[in-house]
Structure 1
């Protein structure tokens, strides 16, 4: 079997970049440090692993069953793309203006690795909708599924690395560096959102 039949580099890069700017590994560093400030090194490492696994499971669950849900609700792909684009644009505006909500440290009493870290911080609406759009837009072959899954796995590994070495990353970037990375991610996300909306409008016009 040819490697090109099971792996699409262009699709992989698209999935990786989109999910990376949405899930924002560098941006999770200060939030992760705040929510796990009372934990020891081993507990913090376990929290990072659990949060990533929860996020991965939630996103894959929607990727697998999301199409059936949309079919049941009679929602088309262009409608999903349009709503997803608007949602991502709102998230991008929050990143650009610094108004993104930060989970309250008072939630430490619960398992913060699952809520709010795993979801909705990592596996939020933006990531879920984007993953569903990628799956809906694929040709349904095993190659596209493998490529999309590898893109998600790559982002999850980046998230785990960011949280695992949160103290080091925060010291290197500093407050201003972390803010700069968040703003750049917001700009890229806004561009992706506008493209999704444009594709949705084009699809509606062609179907009319």
Structure 2
């Protein structure tokens, strides 16, 4: 990821962080016992709630950062570290926390939060808002695109699970993790480079 904004790059970044393929096993678990037609309705309903949360952070995230007096460089470096950790977890997933046999119909949790609008996604969105304050409309397009793709993938969870099986889904998640790892390193490099340039200019 370079210092120049790209809708495609931002969309991919949000998509990798949301990680819909990695969420499929969890979704199938929480939807166990729910009729398939109802599953689609739940994904769409909670997906829209997740979108509202993302859009709220997009337009009010900058004000949140101003209150905390955070600079672009610190946000970029911190965001790179967060994404680096997320990428490592995608590449080396833990078997813990994947079991859920409850047949209770989910509401907001876990689809809206944390699958679509989790802390990592919101943190990434804040980084992008701070890094590209003049690109709110383009960021909105990226968020909508990543959200739309993620919701479609989650809605197709039963079909994708039958087609790809557990190993196929794991391979896709690791591939997305590798790509996210590279993007996180680039974000770190951009933050450090910008901080170094700023420090030299002050001296």
Q: TM-score, normalised on structure 2?
A: 0.87
Q: Which residue of 1 aligns with 2:175?
A: 184
Find the partner of 1:200 among 180, 191, 201.
Answer: 191
More helix by share: 1
Distance 1:100 1:62, change over 3 A: farther
Please give the alpha-carbon distance, in whole angstroms, between the structure 1 residues aligned to 2:43 and 2:97. Answer: 17
- 1:62 paired with 2:57, answer yes
Please give the alpha-carbon distance, in whole angstroms, between the structure 1 residues aligned to 2:108 and 2:197. Answer: 42
Find the partner of 2:127 among 118, 130, 133.
Answer: 133
Q: TM-score, normalised on structure 1?
A: 0.86
**Partner SS, residue 108 of structure 2:** helix
Cα-Cα RMSD: 1.9
Find the partner of 1:32 among 18, 27, 31.
Answer: 27
Matches within 5 A, 1:1-208: 11-99=6-94, 102=97, 105=100, 109=104, 112-140=106-134, 144-208=135-199
Please give the alpha-carbon distance, in whole angstroms, between the structure 2 residues aligned to 1:178 and 1:86. Answer: 25
2:83/2:184 contact within 8 Å kept: yes
1:94/1:100 contact within 8 Å kept: no
Q: CA deviation at 1:137?
A: 2.4
String of CA shifts for 1:56-115, please: whole Å, max 9, x gaps. Answer: 122221121111111111111111111111111111111111127646525654x62411
String of CA shifts for 1:29-61, please: whole Å, max 9, x gaps. Answer: 222111111211222011111232122122221
Gaps of 5+ in 1: 1-9
Please give the alpha-carbon distance, in whole angstroms, between the structure 2 residues aligned to 1:22 and 1:179. Answer: 15
Structure 1: 4+ residue segments shifted above 3 A: 100-104, 106-109
2:19/2:173 contact within 8 Å kept: yes
2:84/2:180 contact within 8 Å kept: yes
Gaps of 5+ in 2: none
Distance 1:139 1:75, change over 3 A: closer
**Partner SS, residue 98 of structure 1:** coil
